[in-house]
């Protein structure tokens, strides 16, 4: 169900679950991609004369107010981008929220303070979640689910509230689901997946599911060292998930049996000092010295990975190739971003970090078919898991 299915919204209070969980350096937003992505739905609702009430989270506060996690910086940025004032309630369902909503006029926007300041939001106890969802629902006449990055969470403002109000998917959720389903349902081949980032254990389900679907799996970043270890290579002080080594061995075997090509780094940029200043050397991936750690893929790997992307019909990329926040270790991630930009196939960048890397390293977003706002959510969709925030809209 889309926003149009909600009928005439003039004068109606519409609660929008957005994902405004942006990276912050102090109070400075370092990537406002998610705020920008929330604009189309908010603007559509304003044009329809709705009174727009945005609810969202920032970080993972512990169910109580914590100024470190205030949505204030995101609200200021939203107001700049909308070129309109945005009212800000200093609580989520309390006096401030009620008063703010009451004062809203048609076409105006308000944001409620971090929804995770309320224990009911993330509670595992369904009754507690539902009680909080009721308070949220009482503020509005209709609900629009537009926080794609959070649709994999069974939380009050994502899931339970959708049961209590006429509900629809916002245009971001619609676009994300359609774009990611192009990857999971009959992808144009060869279908190449690039996985990076630090944790193999976060991506086990994806690897498992992709072994039956992808033609090639390129593994870089922090998780690649666990793969090297599974091949019997020493990885020095590199990131290693020792307890995943056996599972990874199983994946390597299954990949071989099913004809899926797994491509691993052949060289790495390594250092004894984690930090922006190095010194850094390049060594073969099977000869990382005991006192050093791998912090990026090396130049031969950059070429190898790029060569594996040239003929791709579909590419899904999640996770940086190295510590791209330090210039010295950004080359691997840059090389993948460039190779993907040049690829004529359908290219999807999934995940908060990879999407931020694209923007912060200065690549033009228009060179990719789709840049997802979801980290965990896009991975779970690719894994083939049911996403509670989407399932509840389909059920209704
Ligand atoms: C994200 O950053 O992936 C989303 O905003 C969800 O946040 P969470 O992982 O804290 O639920």
Q: How far is the CA of 106 from the centre of ligand 1 (A)?
A: 31
Q: How confident is the model at residue 246 (pLDDT cuts 50, 70, 90)?
A: very high
- The HSE-up count of residue 37 (CA atoms within 13 Å, CB side) is 28
pTM of the model: 0.90
Closest ligand 1 atom to Cα of 21: 5
Active-site residue identified among 94, 205, 278, 376: 376
φ, ψ dihedrals at 11, nearest 5°: 80, -5
Higher pLDDT: 121 or 213? It is 121
Pocket residue to mutate for ligand 1, from 150, 197, 353, most atoms within 8 A of Cβ: 150
Pairing of strands 13-17, 28-29: unpaired
Pocket residue to mutate for ligand 1, from 17, 18, 19, most atoms within 8 A of Cβ: 19
Taking a C-beta distance cutoff of 8 angstroms, is the pair 289, 268 a contact? no
Q: How far is the CA of 370 from the centre of ligand 1 (A)?
A: 19
Ligand 1: residues with CB < 6 A are 19, 21, 60, 149-150, 153, 352, 375-376
Give yes or no: 376 in active site. Answer: yes
User: Mean pLDDT over residues 53-63, rounded?
Assistant: 97
pLDDT attached to residue 110: 98
Q: How far is the CA of 153 from the centre of ligand 1 (A)?
A: 8
ipTM of this complex: 0.98
Atom 11 in ligand 1: residue holding the nearest Cα: 150
Give the rounded percent of residues in the chain with a pLDDT score beyond 90.
88
Peptide bond into 65 cis (omega under 30): no
Residue 130 in marked binding region = no
For 81-133, write each residue's pLDDT tens digit. 999 999 999 999 999 999 999 999 999 999 999 999 999 999 999 999 999 99
Taking a C-beta distance cutoff of 8 angstroms, is the pair 319, 353 a contact? yes
Q: What is the mean pLDDT of the chain?
A: 95
Q: How far is the CA of 149 from the centre of ligand 1 (A)?
A: 6
Q: How far is the CA of 21 from the centre of ligand 1 (A)?
A: 7
pLDDT attached to residue 235: 97
Q: Is the dihedral of CA 331, 336, 341, 342 positive or negative?
A: positive
Pocket residue to mutate for ligand 1, from 23, 116, 149, most atoms within 8 A of Cβ: 149
Active-site residue identified among 352, 374, 375, 389: 352
Least confident of 98-102, 198-202, 371-375: 198-202
Give yes or no: 216 in active site. Answer: no
């Amino acid at each position: 169900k889309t926003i149009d299915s909600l009928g005439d919204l003039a004068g109606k209070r519409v609660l929008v679950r957005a994902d405004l969980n942006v990276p912050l350096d102090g109070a400075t937003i370092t990537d406002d991609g998610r705020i920008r992505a929330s604009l189309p739905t908010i603007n559509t609702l304003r044009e329809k004369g709705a009174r727009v009430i945005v609810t969202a989270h920032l970080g993972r506060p512990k169910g109580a107010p914590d100024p470190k996690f205030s949505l204030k910086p995101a609200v200021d940025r939203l107001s700049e981008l909308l070129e309109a004032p945005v009212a800000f309630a200093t609580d989520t369902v309390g006096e401030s929220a009620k008063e703010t909503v009451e004062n809203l006029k048609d076409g105006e926007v308000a944001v409620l303070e971090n929804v995770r300041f309320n224990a009911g939001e993330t509670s595992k106890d369904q009754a507690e979640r539902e009680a909080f969802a009721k308070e949220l629902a009482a503020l509005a006449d209709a609900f629009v689910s537009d926080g794609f990055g959070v649709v994999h969470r069974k939380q009050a403002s994502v899931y339970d509230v959708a049961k209590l109000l006429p509900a629809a998917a916002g245009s971001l959720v619609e676009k994300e689901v359609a774009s990611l389903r192009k990857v999971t349902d009959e992808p144009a081949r060869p279908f190449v997946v690039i996985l990076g980032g630090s944790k193999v254990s976060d991506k086990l389900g994806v690897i498992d599911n992709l072994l039956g679907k992808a033609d090639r799996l390129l593994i870089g970043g922090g998780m690649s060292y666990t793969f090297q270890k599974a091949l019997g290579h020493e990885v020095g002080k590199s990131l290693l998930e020792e307890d995943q080594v056996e599972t990874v061995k199983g994946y390597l075997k299954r990949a071989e049996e099913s004809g899926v090509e797994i491509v691993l780094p052949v060289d790495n940029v390594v250092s004894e000092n984690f930090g922006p200043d190095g010194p850094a050397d390049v060594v073969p991936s099977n000869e990382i010295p005991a006192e050093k750690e791998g912090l990026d893929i090396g130049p031969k790997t950059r070429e190898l990975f790029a060569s594996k992307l040239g003929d791709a019909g579909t590419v899904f990329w999640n996770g940086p190739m190295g510590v791209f926040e330090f210039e010295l270790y950004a080359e691997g991630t840059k090389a993948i971003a460039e190779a993907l930009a040049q690829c004529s196939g359908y290219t999807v960048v999934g995940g908060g970090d990879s999407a931020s890397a694209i923007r912060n390293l200065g690549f033009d977003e228009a060179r990719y078919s789709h840049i997802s706002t979801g980290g965990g959510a896009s991975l779970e969709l690719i894994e083939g898991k049911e996403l509670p925030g989407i399932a509840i809209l389909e059920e209704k």
